[in-house]
Chain A
């Protein structure tokens, strides 16, 4: 089957790729663009480890045909840092022990970003809802909630 061309912007960088049409967005991000931050946990849209933001929405990139990326703007975990400066969510996860093995972390942080992009002052319940599409097996989630809460406060200028 013929290869197809897609053009999109990822982490602020324009890309043009020739891909077979059955590739998933996750495969293209990880294998073609070598951005291995997004992980494949289950490959079935259940675990959230592959979460990226496409067109302003968090998606499980393992379920998105890469063809759909054409014309889109995508952000992955690698796109959060500003130069050497961590994004406040990343900073909070480090400071508040929001990660252990770290495998779920890129997806978790992208879901947290999606949440805070739409709700700058979430309640604990809203934080829990916001990351309920992301499994973590290490932390018991508690420190993740604390990290997101701290990030929300720091993004509003508080501490």
Chain B
């Protein structure tokens, strides 16, 4: 039967106040018995729609107030706690100053109401291919500090995503913190979506580059919504690294990025168009960086 649900299914709710308590709850977690959430802007609608099975218990992480932080120092770079909201990340002076691409990407997510509730960690853990923060974080060399019953581990975000909605995080694991090393260079995130707000990226392109004396020193290209997971376009990056800035090499690299993308046809756009747009946007993003 086709039923359109207005109500949430039945579940219990707990709100641990300590990180260790949350880990204890998750120790025996499997088959989605416990479902953790921070902002809930993704999990709640999915549970309501019955796209995600109802958990026995919903675990609200917002009680663990020590996870709500954005901190920075030159040695370690930026650290974003699991509970830092999208809004806070987009507005934090340190993010705007040192990682403007991430602020840009965060500000492009959904709406004010969603940004007030949702978290960057959640945007990553949901692992939708179009997650706006992902291409930027990939470019910035972001890492996820996770902890489960086996202890802590650091996962490179490039290794984090497995497919749409799927990550390497175990049922017992939590993402504690996103770390972004300091790096020299400029970054740009360009999101292509029909509406300017409350919309998903048809294609999202993040480019981070360090250009010195007219030479591309360090180039990183992150792509969203053009593969089962957010991805880096490494062939394209390699084509540019070490080269002198010039139209032809940029064009070639942009074409390579389009080649590397693995988009699909869906109701939002065709694969062909997405590929075309990767080329256009990579070129545009690099253009914006070098014209700066």
Contact = CB atoms under 8 A, between A and B. Distances in A.
Note whether A and B contact each other (Cβ less than 8 A). yes
Interface of A: 1-2, 4, 20-24, 27, 40, 43-46, 48, 51, 57-60, 63-65, 67-68, 111, 114, 129-130, 132-134
A133 B110 contact: yes
A60 B48 CA distance: 14
Given A21-B58, A68-B60, A45 B11 contact: no
Nearest to A55: B116
A32 B144 CA distance: 41
A11 B30 CA distance: 41
A59 B12 contact: no
25 contacts: A20-B10, A21-B58, A22-B13, A23-B8, A24-B8, A27-B7, A44-B48, A45-B44, A48-B113, A58-B112, A58-B116, A59-B116, A59-B117, A60-B41, A63-B40, A63-B117, A64-B40, A68-B62, A114-B112, A129-B197, A130-B112, A132-B198, A133-B111, A133-B113, A133-B198
Contact of A21 (B11, B41, B49, B110): B11
A67 B112 CA distance: 22
Contacts of A51: 113
Contacts, number: 89
A22 B49 CA distance: 14
B119 to A, nearest CB: 13
Contact of B113 (A60, A65, A68): A60
Chain B interface size, as a band, is 20 to 34
Given A57-B117, A133-B110, A133-B197, 19 more contacts: A1-B10, A1-B11, A1-B12, A2-B12, A20-B10, A21-B12, A22-B10, A22-B11, A43-B45, A44-B48, A45-B113, A48-B113, A58-B113, A60-B41, A60-B114, A60-B117, A65-B44, A67-B13, A134-B111
